[in-house]
Structure 1
Amino acid sequence: MPSRSTSAATARRRRRRHRPLKWQKERRDAERERLGDLWVDHDLVFARDGFKLSRGEAGGPQDPEKVSAR
């Protein structure tokens, strides 16, 4: 059985790992609310935002070349 300190360390690592995903979800939800009907939900974690709607629909998949550049 793992010690309490090991369990606590594992829980801290898990929370740290989830922080960026939580931040991204909050960012995406705010963008979805801002754009209203212009947002097309594809159930993506990293979705295209409304910065340049002329390049594609907001909420759609991001350009793979742009994702790694951020």
Structure 2
Amino acid sequence: LSSTSTASSAATATEAPAATEAPAATTAAPSTETTTAPSTTEAPAATPAATTPTSETNSTTSVVQAPIAC
């Protein structure tokens, strides 16, 4: 039984390094928040950009009509 207890202690020691990975996850959290901030800035920029795709859609339609005319 004593030998089994020793094996359990060894397993516990292995879990200790796993705790080191936990702080790493905490560091990733702030990184996510930083990414959210730029995303907010890009959102308004996407609104003016939405007008540009409209023009591109018209140009694309013209290109599609050209082959049909041929």
Q: State the structure with more CA Rg.
A: 2
**What is the TM-score with the length of structure 2 in the denominator?**
0.40
| TM-score (normalizing by structure 1) | 0.40
